[in-house]
Every structure is written in C-alpha cells, then in structure tokens.
Amino acid sequence: MTTTLLKNLMLVDPEAGTVEPGALLMAEGRIVAAGAEADLQGADTTHDCRGLHLAPGIVDIGVKVGEPGERHKESFGTAGRAAAAGGVTTIATRPDTLSPIDTPETLEFIARRAREATPVRVLPMAALTKARAGREMTEIGFLRDAGAVAFTDCDQVITDTKVLSRALTYARARDALVIGHPQEPGLSAGACATSGKFAALKGLPSVTPMAERMALDRDIALIEMTGVRYHFDQITTARALPAFERAKRNGLDVTAGVSIHHLTLNEFDVADYRTFFKVKPPLRSEDDRRAVVEAVASGLIDIISSMHTPQDEESKRLPYEQAASGAVGLETLLPAALRLVHAGDIELAQLWRALSLNPARRLGLDSGRIAPGAPADLVLFDPDAPFVLDRFALQSKSKNTPFDGARMQGRVRATFVAGTQIHGEPL
C-alpha cells in the first residue's frame, strides 16, 4: 500500500466545524488519517504544503453539460477540466439537455461519456417527466437502477398538480430524491428582472418575489402529502424563507440550495443591461441577498451550488430580454464563495458544509469529509491569493461569467480525486 502525506496544512473540517493546522495521510484513494496524528506516521511520499488550506472537494449539484445536443456550449471534457480547476471533485449533472435525459439508455450514454472524458466524479440526474413536458412521469425505477441520483425537470415547472403528485408518490416509493425549482410559472413567464424600482427604471419585464414563495408553498403541501425526499434547487428571496423554515421544523425531508451568483450579486449588477448577469431566477434586491446569506450562515439553506449554465456568445450578445439566461460557475464558485468569508458573513468551515458536506449527504455520498475512511477527494487552496478574473482563461468552453474583470481572492493550487492529483502544479 503506497501512502502519501500532505503536511504543514490548515485543515478545513466541515463536520467538526474547525480550521486547524495538521496533516493528512492518504492511501488507495482513501484518507487514512487527518490532524496532528497523521504527521506522526511514516509515508512513502511526503509533500510540504507550506500552510495552504486543505478541504474536502466541492460537491456541485445542478451542473449543466451540453451533451447531448449542445456540445458547442460545453462538453464533458471541458466541464471536467473546469471543475478540477475550481476544486470541484463531484458534479451532479442536470437533465435539461437536447434531448432531455429521460430514458435509461440516454442516462447510460451520459455516464459512459463522463467516464471517458472527465477526471472528476459525475453523477447524472434524470428528468422527472418525459421530455420535461410535465405530462407523463418518467420510468423513475428504471432510471434509478441505471444510476440517476435525483429527478428534476429543472426550471420547467410542472403545472399539473395531479401529474406532480403522482410522480412524487412514485419517487417516495423508490426512495428517490426529487429536485424542484420554486417559481410560479404564470407570474414568472417572460420576466428577466425582479420587480421593483430598478426593473421599472430599466423598463425590464419583471416578476414579484412572491412567485418563489407561492411555488414553494404548493410544493411543500405536496411534499407533506407524499412524504418524498425533496430539494429546492434555489431559494433566493427573503419572503420564501419563513415557509421553508416551517417545513423543516415540521419534520419534512426537505433541503434547499442557492446559487453562488444570488449570494454574491444583486439586481444593480445588471447595470446597463449586462447580459452575463442574466440568470434564472433573476438577480434579487440587496435585502434579499443579505437574507439568503444569513440563511446559509445559520444552516437554514443547506447547499451552495454554481448552477453552471454555459451559453455561447450568440446566445448572450442579444438585447437583455432576448438573451439566454445562465452563467458558468464551476471555476468561480470557490473564489466567489470566499467573498462571504472575507466579508465576515460566514465562517470557512460553515461555508464548506454548504459546498461539500451537505450536498454529499443529500446525495447519499460518503465524501465531503476530512475523516479516516472517506474518499481522498480534496482541494488544496490559498484563500487569500488575489487575482483578476479573465474569462478567456477559463477552462469552460463557454465564457459567460458575470465575474469577468472582477478582483477576487482564493486560488486552487491542487485538486485530488481518489488520491490522484488531477489539477495544479505537481506537489
């Protein structure tokens, strides 16, 4: 058994809630020991990490890859390299492809392509209804057997409550995780901004924050009725938080996420119709952003994700209303999230619960931990290293990042999957 020791580290342990000096010993793709005791053991190979931080690799739920159908926007190869460069060791991919991932055959194709082209772990999600059309549920049992880790129609909200209730009931029978997008589709149709003074001044079609609350209330009622395991992909408004808190307090098996863009940007960043800031749901007010940041810090919102959505230049270089929604985020997730740490809004260990431990737990993985026996999926990073982001230096095939030209802090120095370094200068 070949052992590797990483010493002179600051270990970020999201389970214990600590950031402490120590070392980490790994062998055969697993962590053998972590902390002060690891430094006392002999190793075949030893690397001095000179005080850098080591944390569990990020587990990112909701990554869009353009295979099949939109490979010109993002392939598994480019998405994998972008994830590795961003310290993301596991991606759960969305099924909103062309065509959607709604059959076992398509899912198996995706899994095979991922294994061939991607250095990180890829966990495919499948559509909840056929063609994401909201009329007939998919073969949830067969798709789960084929490897689907969750079921979602992404931002295509199912309006037929009977269809949704039947799908949730069947998912509960198969112990399948369902992921929903809380947005009332009638109110939000055609909207590209959040209602308020800014949207009115800019003349942009807008949607009230209550559209999120209304959809959340409906879904919570169905979750209570069916007992399904459910994850809200993004909660982005203050008005939705009390309802979600009550659902948790009442014992429902619910979790919620938020994208890094809604945590670190607000509606004013759109400025003069900058389409790289057009995301779904639209960026919110500063009051909403602050409320959601506090919800992450308190643990009410469980998961932070990139909601990586690559769009080509032709899709973005359009008038704001017509431009495609979405932003890439695999490589910017870590430095953007560290803005919250540097601002004093959240502790580093708590941040890593939302980036790694909680999403791993929600997907039933044993990763996201710095503990003996856990997979050696790790990210070595300097949280204070400054840089100016150049979107053309990103590994993603599409370059639609709202952080282009932004001053950021936090550089990934190395990424490991199963103990093998997949990114960074050799240690």
CA 387 and chain centroid, separation: 23
Question: 54 near 4, Cβ under 8 Å?
Answer: no
pLDDT for position 37:
83
The percent of residues in the chain predicted with pLDDT above 90, rounded, is: 98
Q: Class of the 3-54+376-423 domain?
A: mainly beta
The percent of residues in the chain predicted with pLDDT above 70, rounded, is: 100
Residue 38, pLDDT > 90, answer no
SS3 203: coil
Q: Give whole-number Cα distances, 261 to 38, 167, 283, in Å.
A: 37, 30, 8
Average pLDDT taken over every residue of the chain: 97
112-130 pLDDT, tens digit each: 999 999 999 999 999 999 9
Burial of 120 (0-12, 13-18, 19+ CB in 10 A): buried
Nearest 10 degrees: Cα torsion 278, 282, 288, 292: -80
Q: Class of the 59-362 domain?
A: alpha beta
Rounded to whole angstroms, how far apart are CA atoms 79 and 398?
A: 10
Delimit the domains of the chain by residue range. Answer: 3-54+376-423, 59-362
Residue 290 — very low, low, confident or very high, per pLDDT cuts 50/70/90?
very high
Rounded to 10 deg, the angle between the 210-226 and 161-173 helix axes is 50
348-406 pLDDT, tens digit each: 999 999 999 999 999 999 999 999 999 999 999 999 999 999 999 999 999 999 999 99
A 10 A CB-CB count for 64 gives 25
Rounded to whole angstroms, how far apart are CA atoms 376 and 38?
A: 14
Q: Considering only 42-46, 109-113, 312-316, 329-333, which range has the smallest mean pLDDT?
A: 42-46
